[in-house]
């Protein structure tokens, strides 16, 4: 078989190398963004992978499969036009499923559940909630890849959630289980032993379709991708290739009505619609602990059963968006027929995530941290809603640019800040870092100056300023936690 792998930036090198292990394959690589590192180039050349400059040169190639990321400016129709109409097209996500065929067979035979998680927000938190519920999981998240047992094993801290890194995570876990064995296929024999009892994979812009359960947390902003040729909602519909899908109710109704609801479970907060499968209700919010009732009805399970019931839980969920993450994870767990008592215990053990949503104390001040590389205006608004009526809180907003493909809409954020200050003139908002500087500069050019909004360059200084004034802090920061943690 002939394969063309497009984009060497977002996991393309790993896909090329995996495909080249089968000597019957001829693998071509297209470095569309000219981002190939010298070290990767040497590895590609040593594995007989052929780099091409013009995909049109493959016009006369028979049995060609093109594997390209969903966000690429070249889409399926472009490849068929520039190469030939007979190509077989895969996204990077579906290409990963193709490569993992042998591993998937082994997982299925061993009855080890696989969960894939995608969405605009809440992916990482939902992953870590599930790791408290599922037995000894292998986990790939934006915070790293791990095997969680009695003594957790860190496989890799700095790893992205591009689909090819699912393969790397599986390989790293296998090397621990079988340090003397190769993980690659040797004939028809797959030599690694599986040293985990479940698998959770967070994925950006879609899913590979390998999940027994696929979870779509939300589409709170449907941002454009592929130079405007596609969107987040279109890319993430790959989650419906999983065996059973969990989806936030409003997201399903707005974007995915075309999909068969016979394989979909929905979740929502305080929703009276009879077709919602799982609802969170009777919510009593607290900064450290929130209690609420989970009620589920005609919820479909992976074994073809319909289940109904209700139970009370206590967990870390200071705001509605945290509740929705818990409901997503709980719906996934119930879909696997995990017992209620196991879910209740897991949720009680979840205390938030250092590097996402967590609470800490400094002296007499409480700091709520909402740190995320992909923060957007909708998620910032939900965070502010937790404390906007409490004048004991300073709200710090800021962070970095260029850390995700999705950038923030500054004008929309400025309107949000203005509306919150209009509602509560005593609300103190401190802007910091690159994002804060840009926002403050634009505010200064407005007729309304938002007097209660100030700019402090360094995050540390903004925190010290608030602590000296005996204020609690809501920190909304657009960055990877590893960067923040160095302060």
Q: What is the pLDDT of residue 83?
A: 95
- Which of these, 363, 360, 344, 370, lies nearest to 481 by C-alpha position? 370
E strand spans, 31-185? 50-52, 64-68, 88-91, 114-118, 137-141, 144-147, 153-156
pTM of the full structure: 0.85
Q: What is the pLDDT of residue 48?
A: 92
- Integer Cα distance of 325 and 129 in angstroms: 8
Q: Residue 451 — pLDDT band, cuts 50, 70, 90?
A: confident
Q: Residue 486 — pLDDT band, cuts 50, 70, 90?
A: very low
The pLDDT tens digits for 262-311 are: 999 999 999 888 899 999 999 999 888 999 999 999 999 999 999 999 99
Q: Dihedral sign for Cα 431, 436, 440, 443, please.
A: negative
Q: Please give the mean pLDDT across all residues of the chain.
A: 90
Given a cut of 60, is residue 483 above it in pLDDT? no
Which residue shows structure tokens 């000894």? 136
- Integer Cα distance of 315 and 287 in angstroms: 10
Three-state SS at 171: helix
Q: Write the Ramachandran bin of 228: left for phi over 0, alpha for psi from -120 to 50, otherwise beta.
A: left
Average pLDDT over residues 412-436: 90
- Integer Cα distance of 399 and 376 in angstroms: 11
Q: What is the pLDDT of residue 456?
A: 94
Task: Kindly state the tokens that stand for 38.
Answer: 């010298």
Q: DSSP labels for 438-483?
A: HHHHHHHTSSS--TTEEEESSHHHHHHHHHHTT-EEEEEEES-HHH
- Which of these, 31, 164, 145, 29, lies nearest to 94 by C-alpha position? 164
- Integer Cα distance of 469 and 451 in angstroms: 18
Given a cut of 90, is residue 10 above it in pLDDT? no
Neighbours of 263 (CB within 10 A): 13
The pLDDT tens digits for 69-115 are: 999 999 999 999 999 999 999 999 999 999 999 999 999 999 999 99
Q: What is the pLDDT of residue 186?
A: 43
């Amino acid at each position: 078989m002939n394969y063309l792998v497009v984009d060497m930036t977002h996991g393309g090198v790993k896909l090329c190398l995996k495909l080249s292990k089968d000597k019957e394959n001829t693998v071509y690589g297209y470095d569309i963004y000219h981002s190939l590192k010298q070290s990767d180039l040497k590895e590609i050349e040593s594995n007989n992978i052929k780099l091409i400059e013009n995909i049109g040169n493959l016009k006369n190639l028979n049995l060609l499969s093109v594997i390209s990321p969903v966000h690429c400016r070249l889409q399926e129709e472009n490849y068929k036009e520039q190469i030939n109409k007979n190509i077989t097209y895969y996204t990077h996500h579906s290409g990963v499923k193709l490569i993992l065929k042998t591993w998937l067979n082994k997982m299925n035979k061993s009855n080890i559940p696989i969960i894939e998680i995608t969405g605009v927000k809440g992916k990482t938190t939902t992953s870590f909630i599930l790791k408290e519920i599922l037995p000894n999981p292998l986990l790939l998240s934006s915070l790293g890849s791990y095997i969680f047992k009695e003594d957790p094993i860190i496989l890799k801290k700095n790893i992205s959630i591009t689909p090819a890194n699912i393969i790397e995570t599986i390989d790293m876990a296998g090397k621990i289980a079988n340090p003397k064995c190769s993980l690659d296929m040797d004939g028809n024999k797959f030599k690694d032993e599986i040293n985990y009892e479940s698998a959770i994979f967070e994925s950006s812009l879609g899913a590979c379709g390998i999940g027994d359960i696929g979870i779509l947390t939300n589409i709170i902003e449907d941002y454009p991708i592929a130079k405007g040729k596609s969107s987040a909602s279109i890319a993430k519909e790959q989650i419906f290739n999983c065996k059973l899908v969990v989806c936030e109710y409003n997201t399903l109704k707005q974007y995915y009505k075309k999909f068969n609801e016979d394989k979909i479970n929905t979740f929502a907060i305080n929703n009276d619609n009879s077709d919602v499968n799982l609802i969170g209700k009777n919510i009593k919010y607290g900064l450290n602990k929130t209690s609420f009732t989970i009620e589920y009805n005609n919820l479909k399970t992976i074994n073809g059963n319909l289940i109904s019931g209700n139970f009370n839980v206590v967990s870390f969920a200071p705001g509605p968006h945290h509740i929705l993450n818990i409901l997503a994870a709980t719906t996934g767990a119930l879909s696997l027929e995990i017992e209620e008592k196991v879910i209740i215990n897991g949720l009680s053990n979840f205390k938030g995530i250092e590097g996402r949503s967590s609470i800490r104390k400094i002296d007499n001040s409480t700091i709520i941290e909402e740190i995320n590389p992909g923060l957007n205006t909708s998620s910032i608004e939900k965070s502010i809603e937790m404390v906007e009526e409490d004048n004991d809180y300073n709200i710090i907003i800021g962070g970095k640019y260029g850390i995700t493909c999705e950038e923030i809409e500054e004008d929309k954020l400025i309107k949000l800040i203005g509306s919150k200050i209009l509602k509560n003139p005593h609300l103190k908002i401190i802007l910091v870092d690159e994002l804060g500087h840009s926002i403050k500069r634009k505010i200064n050019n407005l007729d309304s100056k938002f007097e209660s909004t100030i700019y402090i360059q360094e995050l540390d200084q903004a925190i010290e300023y608030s602590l000296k004034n005996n204020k609690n802090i809501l920190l909304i920061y657009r960055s990877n936690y590893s960067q923040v943690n160095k302060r």
